[in-house]
Amino acid sequence: MKILIVGGGIAGLRAALTASRFAEVSVLTKGKIGETATEKAQGGIAAAIDQIKDSTEYHFEDTLVAGAGLCDERAVRVLVEEGVDRVRELIEMGAQFDRAETEAGGGFALALEGAHKHRRILHAGDSTGLEIEKTLAGRVMAEKKVKIFQQTVSLDFLMENGRAAGVIALDLNSDTFKTFPADAVILATGGVCQIYLYTTNPLFATGDGVAMAYRAGCVLTDMEFVQFHPTSLVHSKEFEDLIALPQFLISEAVRGEGGRLLNQKGERFVPELAPRDVVSRAIFDEMRKEKTDHVFLSLSSLDAEQIINRFPLIYKTCRERGLDITRDPIPVAPAAHYFMGGIKTDIEAKTNIPGIFAAGECASTGVHGANRLASNSLLEGLVFGHRAALAAKSQKTNNNSQTIQKFKDPKPKLKPNEIQRYKLIIKTAMWNGTGIIRSKESLTSVLHKLEMIEKDLSFDPNSAEEIEVKNMLLVARLITRAALDREESRGAHYRSDFPLPDDLNWKRHLVYKVSR
């Protein structure tokens, strides 16, 4: 059988390794292999591997609390229990996580992050995602069982009799559209947060998989829940040209090791390890009150050697931008970071459309609820990437066609500067109106702006940039619609006009599906 995986991050690569045991597997990657959000993940991966001081039950409880009443308990059980085995497999593949030199036998140096009650975060310095990506990609390459099509931008599903039969994609190497037939397609396309002006996400996180799935008839859920990371680096004036690029993340692990958030007066104003939505709103309020674009993250309680050894990437990056974090407080502000919503799946990663599966950030399995617990994202990719591959095994069809060319010489309709202008309008509107604090007025204004753009973009895309901007527009509209519909505040979704949670009316999931 043929299994097609769209996306080459942690969920996609884990799915590829599992599926390659029983199927012919192809992976489509938007960029080059390894260019994913996984690579950028700093903090670590959460797993209760210390069965003396921690347990999967504790991890389960912490995840439910962070999720603010909307977690699917069955999915969380799967995450925390199977996650231990998936992480151990990763270690057996050669992933090098930091060890605690003081412990007999060289146990892992487990970190603490926000809303975790126990140390359970495995990390590789502050480049954990890169270590995991290298490990999984290295195993895929070594086994030579998976075909990888790099720089291939997926456009839409091939549909036959109400089921997915593959994907239409733009091959950037030949500038042609091609079809990739398959018995099952696993979407592992990552996040959506490039729809925001300030985000830690890489440039290609434009919601492609979510948009594709919606157009194919998949149900989407929890679209209103976007997590804003409290601490991204705020650039000094000398580095203003970097503002257009993804914000550099200052890992939550910095606060876990003792970093303190301070206002302009040098005062602490929020518990640093509170859930991310709480810390982000507190920073946002402090910035607004003090009319500034940042607060400070101070590492003064840590010695210089400890900082440099534990956070080498953060230290190096800040030094390149004029900051010595062993002495200088770091100017930080919130940025859009992670999408809890997406393609609705069951615990086997199945969607409502036969032949379509989803795993990782593009999927909404129910493990995160209204607010993701720190470092559960990499774990989700491992666990549900593996599960998606096993579930896809049952999708064998009679589809024996080969990859064929679909169209030649696509002609873009928009110039690059026009695309950038539309992207900037979307990103600015979303940041200002569908951001950390929302209201009926702000959300209605965003929808109006997006509807105006939609009229200008009512054509079939013929370039990677056109595909991206149309996907961004669709996802932005769906997120804003859901945020307007949910008239309460819960987890990462905060409405200034409905500032309290309302369990009686809103302790439920909102779902969206294209009208046929």
3-state secondary structure 263-293: CCCCCECCCCCCCHHHHHHHHHHHHHHHCCC
Q: What is the pTM of this model?
A: 0.93
Does the structure show a pLDDT above 50 at 456?
yes
pLDDT tens column, 31-60: 887 677 777 777 789 999 998 999 999 999
pLDDT of residue 107: 87
* 14 contacts 386 by C-beta, under 8 angstroms: yes
pLDDT of residue 125: 85
Q: How many alpha carbons lie under 13 Å from residue 244 in its C-beta half-sphere?
A: 5
* 37 contacts 361 by C-beta, under 8 angstroms: yes
Does the structure show a pLDDT above 70 at 79?
yes
pLDDT, mean over the chain: 91
Using a pLDDT cut of 90, give the percent of the chain over it. Answer: 79
* 193 contacts 337 by C-beta, under 8 angstroms: yes
For this structure, is 119 an active site residue?
no
CATH number of 232-334: 3.90.700.10
24-28/2-6 β-pairing: parallel
pLDDT tens column, 217-241: 999 999 999 999 999 999 765 555 5
Task: Please give the Cα distance from 32 to 151 (Å, whole number).
Answer: 6
* 97 contacts 123 by C-beta, under 8 angstroms: yes
Catalytic residue among 14, 86, 163, 276: 276
Residues 6+ apart with CB under 8 A from 425: 449, 453
What's the rounded mean pLDDT across residues 85-106?
A: 82
pLDDT tens column, 144-186: 999 999 999 999 999 999 999 999 999 999 889 999 999 999 9
146-149/121-122 β-pairing: unpaired
* 95 contacts 133 by C-beta, under 8 angstroms: no
Does the structure show a pLDDT above 80 at 402?
no
| Reported confidence tier of residue 244, pLDDT bands at 50, 70, 90 | low
| Reported confidence tier of residue 379, pLDDT bands at 50, 70, 90 | very high
pLDDT of residue 105: 41
Give domain 2-225+340-401's CATH architecture.
Answer: 3-Layer(bba) Sandwich (3.50)
pLDDT of residue 247: 86
Nearest to 301 by CA among 280, 272, 279, 339: 272
Other residues' Cβ atoms within 10 Å of the Cβ of residue 313? 15
Chain region(s) in the chain for CATH 1.20.58.100 = 411-512
Task: Please give the Cα distance from 481 to 132 (Å, whole number).
Answer: 35
What's the rounded mean pLDDT across residues 510-514?
A: 96
* Extended strands (E) in 408-514: 511-512
* Tokens (6 digits) for 233: 């680096």
Residue type, 274: A
Secondary structure (H, E, C), 339-405: ECCEEECCCCCECCCCCEEECHHHEECCCCCCCCCCCHHHHHHHHHHHHHHHHHHHHCCCCCCCCEE
What's the rounded mean pLDDT across residues 312-316?
A: 92
pLDDT tens column, 421-449: 999 999 999 999 999 999 999 999 999 99
Secondary structure (H, E, C), 101-129: CCCCCCCECCECCCCCCCCCEECCCCCHH
Other residues' Cβ atoms within 10 Å of the Cβ of residue 390? 16
Does the structure show a pLDDT above 50 at 104?
no
Residue type, 109: A
| Reported confidence tier of residue 243, pLDDT bands at 50, 70, 90 | very low
Please tell me whether residue 187 adopts helix, strand or coil conformation: strand
pLDDT of residue 113: 84
Give domain 411-512's CATH architecture.
Answer: Up-down Bundle (1.20)
pLDDT of residue 413: 87
Chain region(s) in the chain for CATH 3.90.700.10 = 232-334
Identify the weakest region by mean pLDDT among 155-164, 238-247, 386-395: 238-247
pLDDT of residue 398: 61
What's the rounded mean pLDDT across residues 196-207?
A: 93
